[in-house]
């Protein structure tokens, strides 16, 4: 990020990713949030230290934030965001793909409510989860999280996929595997970037008039065929 952006991070674990983003300085405001209570969050290794670092730098740290209803949170709904970031979402424990698809869909719908026009939603997924040709190897569609389809429910479209480069974020340590203070296998992970789809505009129709057997006939021609009419 090189612009001065309003950034919201959800689903944080030990807040190490938030600290890495914070120390890049490429933001106007940064709010970092997690689902856990503050007491639960600080029980993770280095979390208390990371939280204090964020606060010392003027960032907002929020607890008990449900990513599926961001627009209902008293603090989050006060502004709109240029970037909403969710790294390696997971329902926890041994959740199946259907539950995780539902989590993604609800998150996207919720994010769309607090996303600025022209903003982006970034979702990092483990290799194979997203269900796109960029996954290597690519899972069968029914066994993936179908990220593009879930985003479409919120009117979001996939604009770009980038490798998730953990080395860019000094000190970042992924946690939350099966709801534990244990990391996911993020090597080969992909960052999926979604943007708002353009509103549908119905094509204009060209009204044609001609004579058929001495009778005047009118009909409409779709815009995409107009260039073929002399």
Q: What is the pLDDT of residue 175?
A: 66
- Record the pTM: 0.82
What phi and psi values does residue 182 have, to the nearest 5 degrees? Answer: -145, 140
pLDDT digits (tens, 9 = 90+) for 152-171: 999 999 999 999 988 888 77
Q: Cα torsion for 157, 135, 1, 165, to the nearest 10°? A: 170
- Give the residue among 191, 131, 134 at the shortest CA–CA distance from 166: 191
Say if residues 160 and 189 touch (Cβ distance below 8 Å): no
Q: Work out the average pLDDT over 194-211.
A: 77
CA distance 174 to 87: 9
- Mean predicted confidence (pLDDT) in 92-96: 75
Tens of pLDDT, residue by residue over 54-67, are: 999 999 999 999 99
Query: At which residue do the structure tokens 């424990």 appear?
Result: 93
| pLDDT score of 68 | 98
**CB-CB neighbours of 216 under 10 Å:** 8
Higher pLDDT pick, 99 / 206:
99
Query: Residue 8 pairs with which residues in a beta bridge?
Result: 31, 84
With cut-offs at 50, 70 and 90, classify the pLDDT of residue 219: confident
- Are 141 and 131 within 8 A, CB to CB? yes
pLDDT above 70 for 184: no
Asked if 9 and 30 count as a contact pair (C-beta separation under 8 A), the reply is: yes
Query: Is 204 a residue whose pLDDT tops 70?
Result: no
Tens-digit pLDDT profile for residues 98-139: 999 999 999 999 999 999 999 999 999 999 999 999 999 899
User: What percent of the chain is modeled with pLDDT above 90?
Assistant: 67
The predicted pLDDT at position 61 comes to 98
Q: Assess whether pLDDT exceeds 80 at residue 176.
A: no
Measured distance CA(185)–CA(126) in Å, rounded: 7
Is the confidence at residue 2, as pLDDT, over 80? no
Helices 47-56 and 16-24: crossing angle in degrees, nearest 10, is 30
* Straight-line distance from the first to the last Cα atom of the chain, in angstroms, rounded to the nearest whole number: 50
Separation between Cα atoms, residue 146 and residue 167, nearest integer Å: 27
Which of 38-52, 83-97, 203-217 is modeled with the greatest confidence? 38-52
């Amino acid at each position: 990020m090189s612009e001065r952006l309003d950034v919201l991070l959800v689903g944080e674990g030990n807040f190490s990713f938030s600290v890495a983003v914070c120390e890049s300085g490429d933001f106007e405001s940064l709010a970092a949030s997690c689902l856990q209570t503050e007491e639960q969050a600080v029980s993770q290794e280095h979390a208390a230290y990371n939280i204090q670092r964020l606060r010392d730098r003027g960032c907002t740290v929020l607890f008990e934030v449900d990513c599926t209803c961001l627009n209902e949170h008293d603090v989050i709904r006060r502004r709109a965001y240029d970037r909403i970031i969710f790294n390696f979402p997971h329902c926890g424990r041994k959740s199946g793909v259907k539950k995780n698809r539902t989590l993604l869909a609800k998150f996207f719908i919720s994010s769309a409510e607090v996303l600025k026009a022209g903003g982006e939603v970034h979702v990092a997924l483990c290799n194979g989860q997203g269900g796109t040709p960029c996954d290597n190897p690519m899972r069968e569609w029914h066994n993936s999280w179908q990220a593009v389809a879930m985003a479409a429910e919120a009117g979001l479209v996939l604009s770009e996929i980038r490798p998730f480069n953990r080395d860019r974020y000094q000190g970042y340590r992924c946690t939350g595997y099966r709801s534990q203070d244990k990391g996911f296998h993020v090597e080969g992970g992909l960052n999926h970037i979604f943007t708002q789809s353009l509103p549908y505009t119905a094509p204009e129709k060209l009204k044609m008039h001609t004579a058929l057997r001495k009778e005047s006939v009118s009909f409409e021609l779709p815009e995409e065929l107009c260039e073929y009419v002399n």
